[in-house]
Chains A and B, each alone.
Chain A
Amino acid sequence: MYLTKEQEEMLDGERGEGVRFAMEVVTRVGDIYGAEKLVQISSSHVLGHYGSLHDAGVEMMERFTGSKASFRVPTTVDPISIEPERWRDLKIQSSYAEKQMRLTNALMGLGVIPSFTCTPYECCNVPRHGEILAWSESSAVAYVNSIVGAKTNRLTAGLDVSCAITGLTPYFGLLIPENRFGQVLIEVKKRKLGNLDFHTIGYIIGKTVGNRIPVVTGLPLDAKNYQLKGLASAAASSGSVALFHAVGISPDARNVDQAFGSNVSEDKIVIDESDIREAEDEITTSRGNPDFIAIGCPHYSIPELIELAHMVKGKRVKRDVEFWVYTSKHVAAYIREMGVLQTIEASGIRVLTSTCAVISPIREWGFKVMMTNSAKFANVIPSEHKIDVYYAPLEDLIEYATKGK
C-alpha cells in the first residue's frame, strides 16, 4: 500500500504509541483488502458499549489513554449499555456500570462527541452525498450509504476508532464507485406500506440477498426518513446489507439503470403482501402474553415520538407490562421542551435515552416475551436475552399495553 511521508511517520510511532497502534490496524486491514492507499475521512461514528466490547474492548480503548492520540475528525458514538444517570433504576449491577464508565471515559479522552445514539445522521453528525466516512453501527452504515449517498464501508469496533484517530481509512470496498452498483433487483408489490412493513421488507431483503447490493423498486417516493431507517436497520441485521438503492429515493438511484450502472441484474426477487405476512410470522417466536414492550430501534426520532404521544394521550399502561421507548438525549431534550415527553411519560411509558435493549443487560428483569415493532430488535434479542418475541405494529402494542386482555 502506498503511504505518504506523514503516514509512514504515524506508522513508525513518531506521533506516539496510540497513533502507531491505530495506524497498524488501519494499514493491516487495508493490505488484506488490497487497498492501494489510505484516504481522508470527513467523520466517524464508533461503537462504545460494554455489552458488545466486553473487557477486551475496555483494554483496547484504554491503550489509547495517555498516548496523545485523539480523534482527528468529528466522531460520534453509538448508544451505550447503561443510561448514564439512571442505571441504578434499571437493575444494572455496579460492576457492569463501572466497566461502561471506563469505556466512556476513554472515548471522552479521545474527544468523542457524546451523542450515544445509533442515528447520529439525524443530528450531531450529518454527512452529505459523496463524502467518505469511517462508520460503524450496521443500521447507520446502511442508512448513510443508501439514503444519504455518503460512502463508508461497514466498519467494526476497533477499526472505527483507529480510522477516527488517524483521520484515514483504507480505500476499498464501498468507497470505490464501481463497487456501489446494484446486483439484484427487488420489486416491492405491496401498496400502502405501513411503518411495520418497512421493517419487514428490510428483514426479507437482508435474508434474501446475501452479500449482494439490492436495488429496490416499489417503495413510495414520499416514504418518511424514519421508515427508511427501519428498512435499513432490518436489512443490516437480518443479513449484512451495507448499501441498497431505493429507486427514486437514493441519490445515486434516480432510476433502475443508474442504480445498476455497468452491472446486469442476476435475478429478480418479488416481495408481495403474502411474503410480508409470512416474514412477520417468522419474526414472531411467541404470541404469548408479553411482559415487555420495547420500541425505538433504531432510536426514535422526533416525528415518531410526536406520533407516539398522540396515540397514547389519555391512556394508561397496565401495571404488569413494562413499556419502554429508546431515543437519544438530544431528542429527549427537544420533546421535553415541546411537552411531548410529559404526555408519553404520563401514560406510563418509560423514555430511555443513550442506550438500547440490544446492548444493555435487561436479563435482570426476567422478561419472558418482548413485544416490538422493530425487526432488528426482534432479530437480535432472542439469543442474547433468551426471551421470545412478538412482532406487531405500534397500534397493536399500545392496544395490548393499555387495554389488556
Chain B
Amino acid sequence: MQPRGSKVKGKVVIRGRCIVKGEAMGEALVTKQPFMFPHGINPETGEIIDKRHELFGLNMKGKIFIFPYGKGSTTGSTWILETIRCGSAPAAMVNLETEPIIATGVILGELLYGVRIPVMDHPDTDIFQKIETGDHVKIDAYKGTIEVYKKFM
C-alpha cells in the first residue's frame, strides 16, 4: 500500500500486541507524555483541551493516536466511548501499555455503536523514535503490525 502523497522516505514495520483487533490507517499523532482523556478532551470534537499537555489545541479525530499510557480518573472509558458516539475518536491507538480503562472504552464502542478502533501495545521497538506526528501509519491489529511511512522531508 502506498499512502497519498507519493514521496515517502521508506517503510518501517513495528510489531506489537493486539488489544482490540481491527485495521486502520491515517496520520500519526504522537506524544511521549501520558495522556488524560477525562477532562482532557472535548468528546464532541476530538480536540485536546488539557492545557498542561503538549498536544493542547490539537485534534485526535481520525488520527493514529500514539501515547505511552493513560492517566487521570477512572472515567476514561466513557470519555473514549463518547468520542466514538460523536464520531470524533482516533482511528486507532498505540501505547506502550494499554490500561483496562482504554481497552474498556473501545470494547464498549464496538458493542454499543459497532465502531471498531484497533488498539495495540507492547511495540517491539521505540515507537517514539520511529514514528513522528504527521507520519502515515497503517495498523493491522489482527496480525499485530504497525507500518510507518515516514512523512516527506
Contact = CB atoms under 8 A, between A and B. Distances in A.
Interface of A: 21, 24-25, 28-29, 32-33, 47, 49, 52-57, 59-60, 63, 136-138, 141, 153-160, 173, 210-211, 237-240, 358, 380, 382-384
Contact of A156 (B52, B75, B85): B75
B97 A156 contact: no
Given A47-B75, A141-B74, A60 B81 contact: yes
Contacts of A141: 74
A239 B71 contact: yes
Interface in B43-75: 43, 49-52, 69-75
Nearest to B56: A383
Contacts of A238: 71
Given A33-B103, A157-B104, 6 more contacts: A47-B74, A52-B38, A138-B73, A240-B70, A380-B72, A383-B50
B100 interface: yes
Contacts, number: 125
A52 B81 CA distance: 10
17 contacts: A24-B111, A32-B98, A56-B84, A60-B81, A155-B74, A157-B104, A158-B81, A158-B104, A160-B74, A240-B71, A240-B72, A358-B73, A380-B73, A382-B52, A383-B40, A383-B49, A383-B51
Nearest to A282: B52
Interface residues of B, number: 39
Contact of B100 (A24, A47, A59, A155): A155
Contact of A154 (B43, B97, B100, B111): B100
B101 A154 contact: yes
A380 B43 contact: no
A25 B107 contact: yes
Given A25-B104, A60-B112, A158-B108, A52 B52 contact: no
A160 B75 CA distance: 10
Contact of A29 (B36, B76, B79, B104): B104
B100 A54 contact: no
B82 interface: yes
A57 B81 contact: yes
Contact of A57 (B19, B73, B78, B111): B78
B124 interface: no
Interface in B19-39: 19-20, 34, 36, 38-39
B100 A153 contact: yes
A281 to B, nearest CB: 14
A137 B38 CA distance: 12
A330 B80 CA distance: 33
A211 B52 contact: no
Given A25-B108, A55-B85, A60-B108, A137 B103 contact: no
- Nearest 3 pairs of A and B residues by beta carbon: A52-B75, A54-B82, A384-B39
B52 A383 contact: yes
B19 A53 contact: no
